[in-house]
Amino acid sequence: MKFGKEFSSQMVQEWQEAYMEYNNLKAFLKNISRFKQKNSSSAVASTPRGTLKRRVSLYRAFSGLTGWQRGSPAKKEDEVVLFHTEGDDNESQGIYKTVFLKSAEDGGDQELEFFEKLDNEFNKVNNFYCKKVKQVKEEAEELSVQMEALIALRIKVDRVVEFTSSAGNRTSSPASTEHHINCAKLGQSQSHMEVIQEVEMSSEGHLEDESGIHVDETASQATMQGFRPAPLEILDHVKINVNTPETPVSTLKGLLMSSKNDLSFSKAEMRKAEEQLRMALIEFYHKLQLLKQFSFLNMLAFAKIMKKYDKITSRNASKDYLKMVEGSNLSSSDEVNRLMERVEASFVKYFANGNHRKGMNTLRPPTRRERHRITFLLGLLTGCSIALIVALGILIHARDIINSEGRVRYMENIFPLYSLFGYIVLHMLMYSINIYFWRRFRINYPFIFGFKQGTELGYREVFLLSSVLSVLTMAAVLSNLDMEMEPNTRSFSAITELVPFGLLTLLLLVIFCPFNIIYKSSRFFLIQCAIHCICAPLYKVTFPDNFFADQLTSQVQAFRSLEFYVCYYGRGDFKTRSNKCLESNIYKIFYFIVTSIPFWMRSLQCLRRLLEDRHAMHGFNGLKHISTVFAIGMRTCNELNRGTMWRILAASSSAVATIANTYWDIVIDWGLLQKNSTNPWLRDKLCVQNRSVYIVAMVLNVLLRLAWMQSVLGIREAPFLHRTALTALVTCLEIIRRGIWNFFRLENEHFNNVGKYRAFKSVPLPFNCEDGEHKTI
């Protein structure tokens, strides 16, 4: 792989604008190369040698004005560049400038322009790096204060527990326990001394000044002893942060009673503080890793581009230029390495019980490797799915099931049961396609969704899961049809009707399986998002919860299938394969309720965000979903109660909801249709270079959203399609529309993060310092 592609693939995508534009500089060097190749022979013939020497000598005379920059007035004849800085480099805001000494030569103007571009790129990279280093140093100071408070809290909690246990043991009179109590007290006192010693050592770690220079310990010992507070006194200046409630119980408590933010020295508070600080250290270490990678990649890019310059121009400027680069903060600043060592030592000591391997595996989780067995199973199961589909088609044609007497009963009773799995399989297939294109266009979907590093599923894993479910579903359908057609098994019709119910039970058991099998982390992440959506607005709304609720709005028919499962098997209709669900008023009521559940979830999420952010757009978004609920209700009433009035209400409400949803999809969620963008009527930044892709996506979004017209216009059946099959087809079109929406929605979110250089999660810190010296970030 060429360096340009490797450089693009390894950069932090949210920081891509801060990296050196290697490809642009490389293209500029190619222009210089073509110019030299074209004019090399003519330049030698047309330019007298003496004239060139006089021009170079004249330039040399005036270039003596810059001799102070290197400290030596005389320069070597083969020297190409000189350097100087403007501004205060100590404050990491210095501007490096290169003086090109060969601009009088033929083609020197282009080389001079090249160095101007190179200086601009270097100053951009260096200033960005210095800014980020300054930020992490400030965060490191805050984390040091947080660690001191946590260690002091540990001591205090241990003393409270010791006092309580000793007070309780005084009531017991047996003398046989006295020796055990004394040993326990001795062990606890020793642990107290160890933790106090750790606090003192962590306080001594502040002897390094901000520039990273280690101050002599003996020279500053008296000063530090005079100003350093006692380890436990820090608890007098901190409080537990009142973070956004994360559970329904805590939310209701926050609404009904005043929240308590003082330290009560309980183990629950200590465990909560430990977990928050643990996550903060992991995220901070990840930030340091990316900063180190940023420095290394850009250093390598400057070395590569200068070597290309020397090769094209036959000069020797890379040595001097790279010496200047190595002397800058981008290379010589070692704050990041020292901070990484401090974080590693602290994390291993305080959060891994001194187990270095365990601590480092948490800070640096091993990268997941592509396994050949996944590819093998994927191909095998995909082939099995295709074979089962072909076998099902042959069975239907051979036994003429389409024209059989039980066709209508089968489509009304059994087909809705199996269609649920078809919706899930199609949604998983679309998601796997989304992952493939997100990776191809370098959209950082693991960071956007908040997956733990190394636990995110790739498109192969998702495709594999969908293939497994597809094979099981098709096998169940085929076996059900075969048992129904065979005279020997026709008497066991009640048992054969339980096949789809057994498949659904198996699927639920796999999803909620507590064992670490079948991608437990991803399954539990999905369950957590589902719980947050169900309990909206009692949970703080995050992007994964928002995104998951949007997926549910495209699975309206799947919710109706679940309701049909309850009715069909709860009433015992499976024994006779004849349901009377639509004759029940309760079923009709819930037929509307389950349809509106996903949209009410999104509306409540918008309400929560409106109360937190005070942004009117969240209110408009909530109204949009409420209008969709009203439109679905009118269409449901039109479906159950045929009439001109219901048809007019369904058509008008659906038209309003379609216009609102389409505008929101394209303009707000996708960020397209911007007037003054560099790409007309799209947006400034695009992942896909072919603009027609976005035009086609917008047109498809509009057309697929008009699928509701099928129910309004009264098109209940089509040639060779039962009404249930037509409903399933319309639902599949909506799922496909949602899959297209997913790609462009995440693309827009990714570019929002890129515009703000947002590459890290914001982790709340457990303690809030009250004094003026330390404040939380």
| Rounded-to-10 torsion of CA 685, 754, 333, 144 | 180
The tokens for 537 are 């607005």
Q: 557 pLDDT band (50/70/90 cuts)? A: very high
pTM above 0.85, yes or no: no
Question: Between 203 and 633, whose confidence is greater?
Answer: 633
Cβ-contact 20, 301 below 8 angstroms: yes
- Indicate whether 581 belongs to any domain: yes
Most confident of 155-169, 246-260, 538-552: 538-552
Domain with 98, as residue range(s), is 1-172+184-364
Q: Which helix (H) or strand (E) holds 432?
A: helix 415-440
Whether 109 has a pLDDT exceeding 70, the answer reads yes
Mean per-residue pLDDT for 289-317? 88
pLDDT of residue 148: 85
Q: Between 108-170 and 22-46, two packed helices, what is the crossing angle to 10 degrees?
A: 160
Whether 203 has a pLDDT exceeding 60, the answer reads no
Cα 347 from Cα 363, distance rounded (Å): 8
Same domain (yes/no): 682, 715: yes
Cβ-contact 677, 683 below 8 angstroms: yes
- Indicate whether 39 belongs to any domain: yes
Backbone φ and ψ for 639, nearest 5 degrees, come out as -75, -35
- Indicate whether 765 belongs to any domain: no
Same domain (yes/no): 276, 408: no
pLDDT tens string 407-454:
888 888 889 999 999 999 999 999 999 999 999 998 989 989 988 877
Our measurement of the distance from residue 301's CA atom to the centroid of its chain's CA atoms, rounded to an integer in Å, reads: 27
DSSP calls for 199-242: HHHHHHGGGB-TTSPBPPHHHHHHHHHHHPPPGGGGGGGEEE--
Domain boundary among 340, 364, 388: 364
Whether 772 has a pLDDT exceeding 80, the answer reads no
Q: Among residues of the chain, what percentage have pLDDT more than 90?
A: 29
Same domain (yes/no): 189, 206: yes
Q: 561 pLDDT band (50/70/90 cuts)? A: very high
Indicate the pairing of strand 238-240 with strand 81-86.
unpaired
Q: Bridge partners of 767?
A: 240
- Indicate whether 309 belongs to any domain: yes
Question: Between 245 and 378, whose confidence is greater?
Answer: 378
Question: Between 259 and 24, whose confidence is greater?
Answer: 24
Most confident of 317-321, 350-354, 363-367, 438-442: 438-442
- Indicate whether 769 belongs to any domain: no
- Indicate whether 484 belongs to any domain: yes
Cβ-contact 627, 587 below 8 angstroms: no
- Indicate whether 767 belongs to any domain: no
Same domain (yes/no): 288, 402: no
Residue with token string 């009773």: 413
Mean per-residue pLDDT for 219-224? 36
What does the H/E/C string look like for 14-50? Answer: HHHHHCCCHHHHHHHHHHHHHHHHHHHHHHHHHCCHH
Q: How many structural domains comprise the chain?
A: 2
pLDDT of residue 92: 47
**Lowest model confidence (mean pLDDT) among 253-267, 298-312, 492-506:** 253-267
Most confident of 29-43, 416-430, 674-688, 721-735: 416-430
- Cβ neighbors of 672 (< 8 A, separation 6 or more) are 666, 681, 682, 683, 694, 698, 744
Cα separations in angstroms, 592 against 155, 525, 589, 597, 645: 58, 29, 6, 9, 18
3-state secondary structure of 84: strand
Whether 192 has a pLDDT exceeding 50, the answer reads no
Whether 717 has a pLDDT exceeding 70, the answer reads no
Mean per-residue pLDDT for 271-299? 89
pLDDT of residue 98: 78
**Lowest model confidence (mean pLDDT) among 175-189, 458-472, 569-583, 635-649:** 175-189
Mean per-residue pLDDT for 648-665? 90
Same domain (yes/no): 461, 421: yes
Indicate the pairing of strand 767-769 with strand 238-240.
antiparallel
Same domain (yes/no): 306, 441: no
Residue 83 DSSP symbol: E
Same domain (yes/no): 408, 313: no
pLDDT of residue 167: 54
Residue with token string 């309003």: 656
Cα 532 from Cα 234, distance rounded (Å): 37
pLDDT of residue 32: 82
With vertex at residue 456, the alpha carbon angle to CA 454 and CA 459, rounded to the nearest 5 degrees, is: 125
Same domain (yes/no): 434, 544: yes
Shortest CA distance to 655 belongs to which of 636, 678, 631, 672? 631
**Lowest model confidence (mean pLDDT) among 80-89, 364-373, 541-550, 554-563:** 80-89
pLDDT of residue 161: 56
pLDDT of residue 530: 94
Whether 470 has a pLDDT exceeding 80, the answer reads yes
Our measurement of the distance from residue 373's CA atom to the centroid of its chain's CA atoms, rounded to an integer in Å, reads: 27
- Indicate whether 766 belongs to any domain: no
Q: Between 459-485 and 499-511, two packed helices, what is the crossing angle to 10 degrees?
A: 160
| Rounded-to-10 torsion of CA 203, 204, 208, 209 | 50
pLDDT tens string 18-41:
898 888 888 888 888 888 777 765
pLDDT of residue 165: 54
Cα 132 from Cα 126, distance rounded (Å): 10
Whether 246 has a pLDDT exceeding 90, the answer reads no
Same domain (yes/no): 22, 41: yes
Shortest CA distance to 307 belongs to which of 315, 321, 318, 297? 318
State whether the Cα torsion 641-647-649-655 is positive or negative.
positive
Cα end-to-end span (Å), the chain: 41
**Lowest model confidence (mean pLDDT) among 109-123, 513-527, 540-554:** 109-123
pLDDT tens string 57-77:
434 433 333 333 444 444 455
Domain boundary among 313, 344, 364: 364
With vertex at residue 339, the alpha carbon angle to CA 338 and CA 345, rounded to the nearest 5 degrees, is: 90
Same domain (yes/no): 414, 327: no
Domain boundary among 339, 364, 389: 364
Same domain (yes/no): 192, 297: yes
Mean per-residue pLDDT for 601-618? 92
Same domain (yes/no): 357, 490: no
Q: 179 pLDDT band (50/70/90 cuts)? A: very low
Cα 632 from Cα 555, distance rounded (Å): 13
pLDDT of residue 69: 40
The tokens for 176 are 């046989």
**Lowest model confidence (mean pLDDT) among 467-476, 572-581, 586-595:** 572-581
Task: State the average pLDDT for the chain.
Answer: 78
The tokens for 631 are 């439109």
Q: 734 pLDDT band (50/70/90 cuts)? A: very high
Backbone φ and ψ for 404, nearest 5 degrees, come out as -75, 165
Whether 489 has a pLDDT exceeding 60, the answer reads no
pLDDT of residue 176: 40
Cβ-contact 434, 742 below 8 angstroms: yes
DSSP calls for 57-77: HHHHHHHGGGGGGTT-S---T
With vertex at residue 220, the alpha carbon angle to CA 218 and CA 222, rounded to the nearest 5 degrees, is: 90
The tokens for 350 are 């305080």
Cα 556 from Cα 563, distance rounded (Å): 11
Whether 375 has a pLDDT exceeding 70, the answer reads yes
